[in-house]
Amino acid sequence: MTIKNAQFITSSSHHTQCPAPDKPEIAFIGRSNVGKSSLINMLTGRKKLAKVSSKPGKTQLINHFLIDNQWYLVDLPGYGWAKVSKSDRSKWGEMIHDYLLERKNLLTIFVLIDSRLPPQPVDTEFIEWLGENGVPFALVFTKADKQSHNKNQSSIARYRKYLKNQWEVVGPIFLTSSAAGDGKEDVLNYIAHCIDISPEISS
Ligand code: GTP
Ligand code: MG
């Protein structure tokens, strides 16, 4: 799949404010600064579609982008940002958990993981929550350009092992670099596959 057109639609602080759930939807999440917005720009081929910042916590709301008039791509705010207050953290939890549980057109969520780090509790706890609540997900390892091929492979192997200890089936895993454009086709093809096999969605 190639993306021809991508446009920002709206930012929402609650799932009920999101656009009508009348098109398939794919969301991206992960800890602050992991590279969600950068990956969205890489996938859509638009440098400034989603706002990128070296300062964590840039994305604070549920951001909908309409892709080729056919599906929604969603940039979600990051978790695990140390400077966030407890009340902001619980607000984040409520907003994201409600969205993930209630959004009926959501086909899958990509959980982004920094390929340089061993499994971190903020990530593994979130992944466990997804598993327990039956939210389909795929893992995307980001910033592959920042370390060697071998280190990337051992990071992925370590995660796979961790996931296999939790569940019988391990979902798809992708390795990407927004800086180098790596993994673009794999991720887009997987999105196309999810849309292909989804039941027809209507509002
Ligand atoms: P929040 O919106 O704060 O949750 O962050 P985010 O996950 O959207 O991260 P963002 O895309 O804003 O990127 C954070 C920083 O990482 C920026 O300085 C990016 O330039 C950098 N970055 C993102 N992806 C890559 C990558 O693949 N390679 C390299 N080298 N840097 C990257
Ligand atoms: Mg962002």
Residue position matching structure tokens 């929550």:
129
Of residues 106 and 199, more confidence is placed in: 106
Q: What is the pLDDT of residue 83?
A: 62
Query: Which ligand 1 atom lies nearest to the CA of residue 177?
Result: 27
Q: Please tell me the least confidently modeled range out of 52-56, 61-65, 114-118, 164-168.
A: 52-56
For residue 35, CA distances in Å to 52, 54, 70 come to 8, 10, 24
d(CA 91, CA 73): 22
Res 135: pLDDT: 95
**CA of 138 relative to ligand 1 center, distance in Å:** 19
* Residue 81 reports pLDDT greater than 70: no
| Å from CA of 45 to ligand 1 middle | 15
* Cα–Cα distance for residue pair 127/124, rounded to 1 Å: 5
For 88-115, give one letter per residue: b (16+ CB within 10 A) or e: eeeebeebbeebbeebebbbbbbbbbbb
Summarised one tens digit per residue, pLDDT across range 134-164 is 999 999 999 999 999 999 999 999 999 998 8
C-alpha gyration radius of the chain: 16
Q: For the chain, which domains are there?
A: 6-197 (3.40.50.300)
pLDDT of residue 30: 93
Specify the residue with its C-alpha closest to ligand 1, atom 26.
Answer: 143
Chain-wide mean pLDDT for the chain?
A: 91
Is the pLDDT at 58 greater than 70? The verdict is: no
Report the predicted TM-score, pTM, of the whole model to 2 decimal places: 0.94
Q: Would you give the DSSP letter of residue 50? A: S
Least distant ligand from the CA of 54? 1
Q: Residue 147 has which token pair? A: 């370390």
Which residue's CA lies nearest to atom 32 of ligand 1?
A: 143
Q: Give the phi and the psi of residue 87 in degrees, each rounded to 5.
A: -70, -35
Ligand 1 pocket member 115 (CB < 6 A): no
| Residue 40 Cα: closest atom of ligand 1 | 11
23 vs 200: CA distance, rounded Å: 9
User: Is the CB of residue 184 below 6 angstroms from any atom belonging to ligand 1?
Assistant: no
Q: Which of 73, 62, 125 is nearest to 95 (CA)?
A: 62
Task: Please report, as a single letter, which amino acid is at residue 13.
Answer: S
Residues 104/97, Cβ–Cβ less than 8 Å: no
**What totals of helices (H) and strands (E) does the chain contain, helices first?**
5, 7
| pLDDT surpasses 70 at 203 | no
Q: Which of 62, 146, 178 to mutate to test the pocket of ligand 1 (most atoms within 8 A of CB)?
A: 178
Structure tokens at 42: 């890489």
Two structure tokens written together for 108: 């899958």
- Confirm or reject: Cβ of 152 under 6 Å from ligand 1: no
Which residues in the chain belong to E strands, given as ranges?
6-12, 25-30, 62-67, 71-75, 106-114, 137-142, 173-175
Rounded Cα–Cα distance for residues 123 and 79 (Å): 9
Distance 37 CA to ligand 1 centre (A): 7
Mean predicted confidence (pLDDT) in 1-17: 94
